[in-house]
Amino acid sequence: MRRHMAGQKTKQAQSKLKYLGRIKRLPPPQTDGRGPSIRVNTSGRSYAHVMALENVSVGYGPTTVVAGIGLDLYRGDKIGIIGRNGSGKTTLLRSLIGELAPIEGDIKLGNNVEVAYFDQELSDLKPDLTVIDNLWELDPGAEIGRIRSFLGRFGFTGDDGFKVVRSLSGGEKTKLSLARLLYHPANFIIFDEPTNHLDIDSREALEQALNDYDGSCLVVSHDRYFLDRVVNKIAHIADGHIKVYDGNYAEFREQTTETVDTAKPKESKSKDTYRAFKEESRRRSRYKKELQSLKARIVNQEREAARLEREINQGIPRSDWEMLHDASERKKQVEETLLELYARLEELEDADFD
Ligand SMILES: Nc1ncnc2c1ncn2[C@@H]1O[C@H](COP(=O)(O)OP(=O)(O)OP(=O)(O)O)[C@@H](O)[C@H]1O
Ligand SMILES: [Mg+2]
């Protein structure tokens, strides 16, 4: 339900200005490394049909874990994979990256698809090496300044870089593994439970990074709030089979409830009223959640814009053309994202929930 009233346009314009104004007014971002600012770089465009599976079965030796998989992924798709513990999510991902041969069928990747994989077990980390060395080994020719500044975006500042990995917390290990994953650009990223140990700030930073990312991704996650904000399709694994739904997690829930409901016999009138009431309250709580997360994202993006502006004006030596260029490109992106977010905010603020 939308309420149209006189002066609404003016109100919208004013609110946009108000928010745009905040870009400049926000205090400089904190430099204690608390709020990471993750960015996911794309490595050129992939072919539009990124991945195709038709009647594929995966598993171990003679044991099939998931059978008859049909799954298509197109450029820009962000698919969430859900399913109970042990249902075969990791098995599917390992098959997709070629670590495990499918029992049946072919897994096809499109041209120019460059895959990066985030392993649930973080087994890529070297426990005896420092944080810096864990990243540096990916690019031994890089200047240490570049390595440290990249780590800074994942919350490792000052002496953090000299900590040995085995002494890190679960959240820090996850962030380091994400840093390694995202160091080299990729246009198709496969994540196995990336948010498990992450604090809220980092989770939001990752959400935001994936929202801004124009490559494709597959994410296994139990975190439905994360899925709600990131994905456009849900692949549900249950009883050895997979089913794909359009939309985020909330939409998946609606569709699956509907499927179950339509299978039932006709319901009485009072039940219909009850259902309508439930639906309305679900809608309200979705609205509130989205509003909340939208505002958080706006604040984050505004901080990022302010940080980039400071970096461009003071932080980067004038002679470093490449970094200046990167920073101003990034700033442009952030400002574009902000405009989209403001537009969505106006839409939501316009919705009538009284
Ligand atoms: N290396 C292996 N050899 C044989 N069976 C395995 C192997 N790894 C996992 N399995 C079995 O395959 C099934 C699917 O496991 P998988 O790890 O893919 O589940 P999952 O959905 O990722 O679970 P979780 O949510 O706990 O990460 C389970 O029954 C598991 O015991
Ligand atoms: Mg798993």
b (16+ CB within 10 A) / e for 136-151: beeeeeeeeeebbebb
- Indicate whether 42 belongs to any domain: no
Place of tokens 């944080």: 131
203-230 residue pLDDT tens = 888 998 898 888 999 999 988 889 999 9
258-280 residue pLDDT tens = 554 333 444 455 666 777 777 77
Based on the domain organization, do 187 and 217 belong to the same domain?
Answer: yes
Please report the pLDDT score of residue 185 as a whole number.
Answer: 86
Based on the domain organization, do 191 and 159 belong to the same domain?
Answer: yes
Show the domain range for 296. Answer: 8-30+269-350
Average confidence (pLDDT) over 116-127: 94
Q: Which of 90, 92, 99 to mutate to test the pocket of ligand 1 (most atoms within 8 A of CB)?
A: 90
Instruction: Tell me what the pLDDT averaged over the chain comes to.
Output: 82
Number of domains within the chain: 2
- Judge whether residue 17 has pLDDT over 80: no
Based on the domain organization, do 175 and 86 belong to the same domain?
Answer: yes
- Judge whether residue 115 has pLDDT over 80: yes
Based on the domain organization, do 220 and 346 belong to the same domain?
Answer: no
Q: Indicate which CATH number applies to the domain containing 99.
A: 3.40.50.300
Comparison of pLDDT for 203 and 287, the residue scoring more: 203
- Indicate whether 3 belongs to any domain: no
Q: Is the CB of 91 under 6 A from ligand 1?
A: yes
Strands 233-238 and 241-246: what pairing? Answer: antiparallel
**Range among 4-8, 211-215, 321-325 with highest mean pLDDT value:** 211-215
- Indicate whether 328 belongs to any domain: yes
- Indicate whether 262 belongs to any domain: no
Dihedral angle over CA of 4, 10, 16, 22, nearest 10: -130
Based on the domain organization, do 296 and 240 belong to the same domain?
Answer: no
Nearest CA to ligand 1 atom 28: 86
Taking CA atoms, 318 is separated from 71, 265, 307, 332, in Å, by 48, 72, 17, 19
Domain finish residue from 217, 235, 257: 257
36-45 residue pLDDT tens = 777 777 777 7
Q: Which of 57, 64, 65 to mutate to test the pocket of ligand 1 (most atoms within 8 A of CB)?
A: 65
At 212, which helix (H) or strand (E)? helix 200-212
Domain finish residue from 257, 291, 306: 257
Comparison of pLDDT for 113 and 91, the residue scoring more: 91
Based on the domain organization, do 112 and 18 belong to the same domain?
Answer: no
- Indicate whether 301 belongs to any domain: yes
Domain finish residue from 237, 257, 277: 257
